Amino acid sequence: MNITNIEFKASVNDLAAAETKLQTLSPIYKGLDHQVDTYFNVPHGRLKLREGNIEHALIQYHRDNLAGAKKSSVVLYKHKPDPALKQILTLQFGIWKVVDKQRKIYFIDHVKFHFDQVLGLGEFMEVEVINENNRFTTAELQDECNRWVNFFQIQPDQFLVSSYSDMV
């Protein structure tokens, strides 16, 4: 599945307060997922295997390391957990980095919200405005993402420039 997102990650001083604010809008709660993302050595973009108790996927993506809301091009392969997949990828590419996190996942329509506690890094939130089936223009996605920046009152110095994998 090919997907384009406009998304942002931000450090937050009070993750619980941000989550409580979102809950005032009655989002759909998917649960608390313990995710281990294994990143592999690849020549283009990033390739990670997500192993969680809710989400299991092989994800190839490209996203520029810029502050604020940014475009992410994603190819997502959802699968049933199977240790052979990780073994094949490890043998073929080698492991670059591993990110271990506890992630609370919410949805409102086509917008996904993450409230993350990342081992060794701290607390962060991520908002992904998902454009599955090219329903929206880039401008519409950007405008919607900016509304969430304003809703959560994210300040410019709170935006993460890089991926968790760059920070561990």
Say how far apart CA 149 and CA 5 lie, in whole Å: 15
- Please tell me the predicted confidence (pLDDT) of residue 64: 78
Query: Is the model's pLDDT at 126 over the cut of 90?
Result: yes
Q: What is the mean pLDDT of residues 124-130?
A: 96
Query: Is the model's pLDDT at 4 over the cut of 90?
Result: no
pLDDT in tens, 96-114: 999 999 999 999 999 999 9
**DSSP symbols for 50-84:** EE-SS-EEEEEEEE---SSSEEEEEEEEE----HH
The CATH code that applies to domain 2-159 is 2.40.320.10
**What is the reported pTM?**
0.93
Q: What is the mean pLDDT of residues 135-159?
A: 94
- Please tell me the predicted confidence (pLDDT) of residue 85: 97
- Which residues does residue 33 pair with via DSSP β-bridges, in sequence order? 103
Query: Is the model's pLDDT at 88 over the cut of 80?
Result: yes
Sorting pLDDT into bands at 50, 70 and 90, what band is 89?
very high
Q: Measuring CA to CA, which residue among 2, 17, 67, 75 is closest to residue 42?
A: 75
- Please tell me the predicted confidence (pLDDT) of residue 132: 82
Q: What is the DSSP letter of 132?
A: G
pLDDT in tens, 48-75: 999 999 999 999 999 877 778 888 889 9
